[in-house]
Amino acid sequence: MVSGHSHRSTVKKSKKPFKSRHASKGQVKARNQGKVEKTTTGPKKKLRGANKLERKNFADQLKEKKVLQALENRKLFQSASGVQKIVTIISLTDDISEEEIFQKLIDNDIVIEDNNNSEMMVENTVQDKAPFIKNLKISKFKSNFKFIIPDTSNFLSILDASRVSDFVIFGLSASNEVDTAKGEQIIRAIELQGISNVICVVPNIDNDLKDKQQKQVLASLTSYFTHFFPGEDKIFNLNNSSSLSKCIHTLCSVIPKGVTWLNNRGYVVAENIKFDDQELVIDGTVRGKGFHVNQTINIPNVGEFKVKLIEKLNKHTGEVTDVISEEIILENESIDELSPQDGGNDDEMYMDDDDMMSDYDDDDMVADDLEKKDTAAATILDPNDDDFDPEIEDVLKGKNQVSIANDNNDIEFNEDYDHNSQLDQFMEESRNPGSTEEFYLDPKESAVERLHKYKFSIKDITDQDEQPPKELQEAYGNLLNFRSFKRSTQRNLKIFNGKTQVTIGESVRLHLVAHNLVNSNTDHITSMLNNYQSQPVVVFGLLSHEEKKSLVHFSFKTWESYEDPVTSKDDIVVQYGSRREVIKPMYSVNSNNSNGNAHKYLKFSTPGNINIASAIVPAYFGRIPVLFFKPKQGNNSSGSNILSNLDLELIGSGSLESIDNSRSIVKRRLLVGQPFKIHKKVITIRYMFFKPEDISHYESVPLFTKSGSSGWIRESLGTHGYFKTSFNRKLSAQDYVYMALYKRVWPKGSTPYIAN
């Protein structure tokens, strides 16, 4: 016998329980109780992380690129013939003025250039009255400036001046606080539309105060200002010679950061204007990317023009040095290139994690997904709706006690029961205070006729080619559209960069031909253009196809100080890029869901949340900052798009999210029914319908409850609209049954904003 040997028994074996890798469909459905989880399809590509040497090399390349760019910008602005830095001065209180700040900033080292290019010392000038524009030179620092003093009684004039400024100087008072309604609205609006560099000055600190008291005042104002601009922790006291010199030195030495959306296009602040027989000639210095011949340009409040001819000018003498009259033609610049219609992997080449255009798989689209979700943000039944019937309001009142029958399958109907009384009581109990989309039929009306515009599911809307109303079919048939908005933007910018014929810093004379004026009254246009010496007239270059209209979707968030409700289809003024349009936007939920490109319609924009405002407006490429204004109460009662600038107030802000004609805005109606008899999972429902033919028409539409149960219609009972249903579980007596119907709604067109 060998020691240490043991025999393991092979007779007794414990059987392992059966393990299934996947639950059955029935088990999954029972576990989830109708809830649908969002799934992702397709393989995920693993990205290899860069090693330390690659990261260091990439960082060095970025650093070198930034240094070279900074040197180029410095050469551009800092020389005897350098580009002017545009400076706008804005006072935020009534006890100080822009003229006062301007006079304190300039000294004997500054020379003013008048319109005839002659020079004179600042100390011999008389103080000008706002609004005005002055060209200045500071010989000590070899810097050129264009100071803009806007009309501070005109809100939009302030925004227009600061939009193209390299520096915005805000004036704070040492004795008065900033008015919330006016001053803070100006700060927020300028900040939200995009701002390059800011400087804060205080022109009225009493020199008789002790140094400690002056520092306390400056510290308090600094705390206030950094609330809006956290990176700007320095305030200049203009009554102190040392602080004043530092302020001037900052203006001369700091290179403007610029605004991305503005620098991606060309723009010119007019220095001389001639307008004759629909042809406009403008002299100025090119900023941004530049211009090319035949390019479309936009002048706010005037209209659109085509560049017919470009003349390059000598910066010192003003003589013409070159004439450009032919456009550079590049291949692949058509709309087909921006929005290719061929198949293949072209889309995948340009898709990345930052792409805002999400793709959806039809197989993952669940028709009743929204039916299972919370009903808080929804539509509202209102007299302006095309489906509103005033007779319904007469029956939607009162209270009711829910009656649950016994297990007997027979139902006795009382032919003389009071429909109005029963409905009054039922509606009072069933209405959800957090939702405004429940819908109750009148016992005398047909659901098929009343709700004929509504579809059975969201998939019926997204799968079918829904047609807009007849009055909008022509407008929607001519809309610009893209398969990928982000990719089209990148291509359009690349094409534009290859076509520019004059670039930043060059003095040019643009010959423009009227293309689409916002007002055919030439006297109005002439008066607007003739004020270029006091209020800036800016020529903004547009990219290809930006003169065409499209269905544009803006993100929208209500300004915190605006408390009134913001309703869909109400007139508001939207400012995006160089444009201002009067629109009647439709608001919808900002969401990505499994129901295709369909999103809930909102009667009101929900405060504190970011919603989507959709309207038909001229296209604009890129994530452009957007401002929303609304006429003040009692103004513009005529419904005209001509509004006074003083009649507008800021109501919200956002950005341009996408151009997408396939984004559906869906209005939902919830038909509400009451469990009348409960027998396990078989439920008899009443009050949802009142005619047997309505039940037959909608029998394929799924049912659901707030608790997550789902069911379907089995058969109609009697002649009063009772019907039998089957649910996935037993309902309680306090539960209510819903049927969701959907209808697509269509945003309307816009008109250009025309100020008085």
**Weakly modelled stretches of the chain, pLDDT under 50:** 1-2, 115-117, 120-126, 331-333, 335-337, 339-417, 634-644
Give per-residue pLDDT as tens, 687-714.
Answer: 999 999 999 999 999 999 988 899 999 9
Q: Which residues of 361-372 are buried (b: 16+ CB within 10 A; e: fewer)?
A: eeeebbbbbbbb
pLDDT at site 388: 36
Q: What is the pLDDT of residues 17-46, one digit of tens each?
A: 666 667 777 777 777 776 666 655 555 555
Long-range contacts (CB closer than 8 Å, 24 or more residues apart) made by 514-517: 514/278, 514/279, 514/280, 514/303, 514/305, 515/296, 515/303, 515/304, 515/305, 515/306, 515/547, 516/303, 516/304, 516/547, 517/302, 517/303, 517/304
CA distances from 523 to 269, 275, 529, 547, 751 (A): 22, 11, 10, 24, 20
Q: Under DSSP, is residue 237 helix (H, G, I), strand (E, B) or coil? A: strand
Structure confidence at residue 656 (pLDDT): 94
Query: What is the three-state SS of 134-168?
Result: EEEEECCCCEEEEEEECCCCCHHHHHHHHHCCCEE
Positive or negative torsion for Cα 487, 488, 489, 493? positive
Neighbouring residues of 449: CB distance < 8 A, sequence distance ≥ 6? none
Indicate the pTM of the whole model. Answer: 0.77
Show the domains of the chain with their CATH numbers: 77-258 (3.40.50.300), 262-332+501-540 (2.40.30.10), 370-463+666-745 (2.40.10.190), 477-491+547-662 (2.40.30.10)
The total number of residues written for the chain in this structure:
756
Based on its alpha-carbon atoms, the radius of gyration of the chain, rounded to whole angstroms, reads 33
Q: Which of 375, 551, 507, 444 is nearest to 82 (CA)?
A: 507
Are β-strands 682-686 and 722-727 bridged in parallel, bridged antiparallel, or unpaired? antiparallel
What is the per-residue pLDDT for 367? 32
What's the confidence (pLDDT) of residue 9? 58
Q: What is the pLDDT of residue 18?
A: 63
